[in-house]
Structure 1
Amino acid sequence: MNPDVTTFFGTYTPRLDEKGRLTLPARFRARLERGIVLTRGQENCIYGWTPEDFGEFSSRVRQLPFTHAGSRNFVRMFFSGMSEEMPDKQGRVSVPTVLRTWAGLDRACTVVGAMDRIEIWDSTRWDEFQASQEGPFADMTEEVMPGIF
């Protein structure tokens, strides 16, 4: 497996420009050249998916029972903030205001590869999240992924 092609990974620190555009990390551009789907993510970050990966995720979400209030609320929040964007020749994508507000983005951003998606964080929020997770990650007291490690 070539992780450059099949997996988003790494941490990058681009800045939003005055028009609310984010320059995608060079390593991610080829995979996102046909577009990126941006949505609200957990912990107030923004998820960025390839259209294909987003389609696969959406297929799984369609299986949620619409009679369940939590499912309905998740779908509403997740899809109401969704935006399909096309990178320009410089690898920049517009981040809609609703998503910038959700993630608290101003200028300093951190883009994190998270396997099948990227995550766009306010840099201060990312630093706080990462600091809060370093200890639990290093000291895993319970097996998070049975059979993997």
Structure 2
Amino acid sequence: MFMGEYQHNIDIKGRMIVPAKFREGLGDSFVLTRGLDNCLFVYPMDEWKVLEDKLKQLPLTKKDARQFTRFFFSGAVECEIDKQGRINIPATLRTYSKLEKECIVIGVSNRIEIWSKDVWEDYFEASEESFEDIAENLLDFDI
């Protein structure tokens, strides 16, 4: 399980150090893709396979299903951590997520999210104001 929040920088070549606490859980290779809310999602291979199987079950006849699957898979790349503990984030994914220099890396249970620091701060501030309402709405899910 991934949890916690870490601040890192991306260098001019698009490389970012993966927090040491996350490296073991990611394994030798993992998948990096577009996420929701302008962040990037990082999945260990076993979690990616579970998600891939679920997405394969979506009906091809539904426009939303086709769009989401295209969006999600077209941005996906298999990654490995180099000897310095870094990953290389492709330019298309950096553009999508507005990653320039400062970024926030968070653990979200079965995945990691990589956010632009500015985007994360805006998102967090907006969500913090409605956190109690969100929690109340989730009571139906027995949380």
Structure 2 length normalisation: TM-score? 0.94
Partner of residue 56, structure 1? 50
Q: Does 1:112 align with 2:96?
A: no
Partner of residue 142, structure 1? 136
2:8 is aligned, of 11, 14, 25, to 14
Distance 1:93 1:82 in 2: 14
Structure 2 segments unaligned to the other structure (5+ residues):
none
Residue pairs, 1:76-91, within 5 angstroms: 76-91=70-85
Q: What is the CA distance between 1:126 and its match in structure 2? A: 0.0
Q: Does 1:46 align with 2:40?
A: yes
Partner of residue 120, structure 2? 126
Q: 1:147 to 1:121 in 2, by over 3 A?
A: closer
Q: What is the CA distance between 1:94 and its match in structure 2? A: 0.5
Residue pairs, 1:61-76, within 5 angstroms: 61-76=55-70
Q: Percent identity?
A: 38
Residues 138-147 or 74-83, more deviating: 138-147
Q: What is the CA distance between 1:139 and its match in structure 2? A: 4.1
Structure 1 segments unaligned to the other structure (5+ residues):
1-6
Q: RMSD of the TM alignment (CA)? A: 1.3
Partner of residue 4, structure 1? none
Distance 2:73 2:134 in 1: 33
Q: Does 1:26 align with 2:20?
A: yes
Q: Does 1:97 align with 2:94?
A: no
Q: What is the CA distance between 1:36 and its match in structure 2? A: 2.1
